């Protein structure tokens, strides 16, 4: 399989926090998205894996 990157995409996530820095709103958008505006969401599960250290970073909102 060819590992050459031929296209990249960007996903933007916006998290609204209250005065106690707790999340109260969550929306996301990406380029080329139909309708052209951010989509509201009720939850987020995000995980990154570091190949070198074999560690993961997880964010659950």
Confidence of residue 25 (pLDDT cuts 50, 70, 90): very high
Say which residues have a Cβ less than 8 Å from residue 8's Cβ, sequence separation at least 6: none
Confirm whether 36 is domain-assigned: no
Confirm whether 5 is domain-assigned: no
Confidence of residue 33 (pLDDT cuts 50, 70, 90): confident
Confirm whether 55 is domain-assigned: yes
Question: Which range marks the domain in which residue 22 is found?
Answer: 11-31+42-60
48: how many CB neighbours lie within 10 A of its CB?
9
Query: What pTM, to 2 d.p., does this model score?
Result: 0.73
Confidence of residue 32 (pLDDT cuts 50, 70, 90): confident
Confirm whether 2 is domain-assigned: no
Pairing relation of β-strands 45-50 and 39-40? Answer: unpaired
Confirm whether 21 is domain-assigned: yes
Q: How far apart are CA 38 and CA 25, in angstroms?
A: 12
The total number of structural domains that make up the chain:
1
Confidence of residue 1 (pLDDT cuts 50, 70, 90): confident
């Amino acid at each position: 399989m060819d590992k050459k990157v031929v296209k990249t995409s960007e996903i933007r996530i916006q998290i609204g926090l209250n005065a106690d820095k707790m999340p109260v709103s969550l929306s996301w958008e990406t380029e080329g998205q139909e309708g052209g505006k951010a989509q509201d969401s009720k939850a987020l599960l995000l995980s990154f894996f570091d190949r070198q250290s074999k560690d993961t970073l997880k964010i659950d909102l």
